[in-house]
């Protein structure tokens, strides 16, 4: 069994698609006209990802407003917001370069997704020739839709949590029903929960443990066989080539993260200062038996925020080092994050989203080649 490799999910939206989204927000084009651009971007994303040799691909999340808001709104500007939501929710992240991203605010119940990730996947399946993965958002992120303090009149926090857990379970089940080979849950808020940023009040509330508990409420609804193919993605954020929590010591986060009963983890690591330290933590805290499934650690070997393309040899060497700490049968490779988790992203360090797309495919090719080289060297090819 060679070392498995898998992307996180997103790719930069082509400049043409980003312009179409702006036109749609401005009422200059129809939803159907926007869809033509989304279709073209998805097709290009899938074809080019397949051409890298990657065994599992995605549609690059080209139709999603963002990794976190796809169930709630058609665009990041809030066009087509779901029922019982207002645009002015809390920040979920303030990034190092000073920009921030905001969630909607829940105004009442019941809480329902407007769009499921499978709605995108069904379209992608028609275009793909290789197995597809789909990323979904974690219930812990969407729990931040509910006000931090107090209760919404007529819709208690517990009623909301129950609706949320039901919707997240449905989101995942629909992906598998639509043909997803793997489904990973984006959990960027996990690491941010370990940082106390006074400008962003929820980060100072020590919410990591309750996030883990909430996410396990969803995971525990799946059998061990199903959970083998359900992953969790952790990262310090990746938007406009900037991060929100890379100063947080992984030792504060990973022991809790591995309490989630998922079968695999996609872990940002290529951009860590001391990778070996984190490989060791993964080896120590990932579990051989997480309620019936072994936890496979997919280590990040590609940095989507840096335009310099990693060589296959660098990827190989990272995996060979990681194998000193993580059992080979529980080791995989991935990218540190999606290449553009938000639809509107000019990728400033890359020069443009179109250049960033070209670079992303080169990086994915290096990941695939380097992972095959590591399998060879470690005797599992
Ligand atoms: Zn990420």
Rounded CA separation 56/332 (Å): 13
CA of 306 to the centre of ligand 1 (A): 14
CA of 140 to the centre of ligand 1 (A): 15
pLDDT at site 345: 95
> What tokens were used for 230?
């359900």
How is the chain split among helix, strand and coil, in percent rounded to 5? Answer: 40, 15, 45
CA of 257 to the centre of ligand 1 (A): 14
Give the bridge partners for 155, in sequence order: 152
Q: Is 152 helix (H, G, I), strand (E, B) or coil?
A: strand
pLDDT at site 92: 87
Average pLDDT in the 35-62 region?
98
Percentage of the chain surpassing pLDDT 70? 100
> What tokens were used for 87?
């645009």
* pLDDT greater than 90 at residue 368: yes
CA of 210 to the centre of ligand 1 (A): 20
CA of 152 to the centre of ligand 1 (A): 31
CA of 249 to the centre of ligand 1 (A): 16
Average pLDDT in the 259-278 region?
98
Name the nearest CA neighbour of 86 among 72, 70, 100: 72
Which class for 31: exposed (0-12), middle (13-18), buried (19 or more C-beta within 10 A)? exposed
CA of 375 to the centre of ligand 1 (A): 25
Q: Is 206 helix (H, G, I), strand (E, B) or coil?
A: coil
Per residue in 108-165, pLDDT (tens digit) is: 999 999 999 999 999 999 999 999 999 999 999 999 999 999 999 999 999 999 999 9
CA of 191 to the centre of ligand 1 (A): 10
Which class for 216: exposed (0-12), middle (13-18), buried (19 or more C-beta within 10 A)? middle
Average pLDDT in the 75-83 region?
95
CB 234 within 8 A of CB 190: yes
CA of 267 to the centre of ligand 1 (A): 9
The residue whose two tokens read 């958002």 is: 137
CA of 181 to the centre of ligand 1 (A): 20
CA of 295 to the centre of ligand 1 (A): 19
pLDDT at site 232: 98
* pLDDT greater than 90 at residue 265: yes
**Residue 180 pLDDT grade (very low, low, confident, very high; cuts 50, 70, 90):** very high
- In this structure, is the dihedral angle defined by the CA atoms of residues 187, 206, 302 and 45, taken in order, positive or negative? positive
Average pLDDT in the 172-181 region?
98
Average pLDDT in the 231-255 region?
96
Which DSSP string do the residues of 90-117 spell out, in sequence order? -EEEE-TTS-EEE--EE-SS----SS-H
Total Cβ atoms within 10 A of residue 141: 24
Average per-residue pLDDT for the chain: 97
Average pLDDT in the 86-92 region?
92
Average pLDDT in the 10-17 region?
98
Helices and strands, counts by H and E, the chain: 12, 10
* pLDDT greater than 90 at residue 1: no
């Amino acid at each position: 069994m060679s070392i498995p490799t898998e992307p996180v999910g997103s790719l930069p939206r082509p400049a043409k698609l980003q312009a179409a989204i702006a036109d749609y927000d401005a009422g200059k084009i129809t939803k159907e006209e926007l869809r033509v651009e989304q279709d073209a971007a998805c097709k290009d994303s899938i074809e080019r990802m397949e051409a890298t040799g990657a065994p599992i691909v995605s549609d690059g999340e080209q139709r999603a407003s963002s990794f976190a808001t796809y169930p709630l709104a058609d665009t990041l500007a809030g066009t087509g917001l779901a029922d019982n939501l207002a645009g002015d929710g809390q920040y979920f992240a303030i990034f190092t370069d000073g920009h921030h991203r905001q969630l909607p605010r829940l105004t009442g119940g019941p809480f329902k997704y407007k769009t499921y990730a499978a709605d995108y996947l069904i379209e992608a399946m028609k275009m793909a020739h290789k197995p597809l993965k789909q990323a979904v958002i974690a219930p812990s992120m969407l729990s931040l839709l509910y006000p931090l303090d107090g209760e919404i009149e007529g819709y208690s926090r517990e009623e909301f949590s129950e609706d949320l857990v039901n919707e997240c379970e449905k989101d995942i089940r629909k992906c598998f029903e639509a043909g997803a080979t793997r489904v990973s849950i984006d959990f960027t808020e996990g690491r941010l929960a370990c940082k106390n940023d006074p400008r962003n009040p929820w980060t100072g509330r020590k919410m990591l443990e309750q996030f883990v508990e909430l996410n396990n409420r969803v995971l525990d609804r799946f059998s061990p066989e199903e959970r083998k193919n359900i992953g969790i993605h952790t990262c310090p954020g990746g938007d406009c080539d900037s991060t929100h929590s890379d100063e947080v010591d992984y030792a504060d986060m990973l022991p809790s993260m591995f309490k989630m009963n998922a079968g695999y983890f996609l872990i940002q690591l290529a951009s860590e200062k001391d990778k070996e330290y984190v490989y060791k933590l993964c080896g120590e805290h990932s579990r051989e038996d997480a309620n019936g499934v072994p936890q496979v650690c997919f280590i990040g070997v590609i940095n989507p925020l840096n335009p310099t393309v990693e060589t296959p040899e660098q990827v190989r060497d990272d995996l060979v080092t990681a194998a000193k700490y993580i059992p080979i049968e529980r080791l995989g490779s991935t990218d540190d994050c999606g290449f553009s988790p938000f639809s509107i992203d000019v990728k400033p360090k890359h020069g443009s989203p179109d250049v960033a797309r070209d670079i992303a495919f080169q990086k994915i090719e290096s990941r695939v080649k380097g992972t095959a080289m590591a399998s060879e060297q470690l005797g599992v090819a």
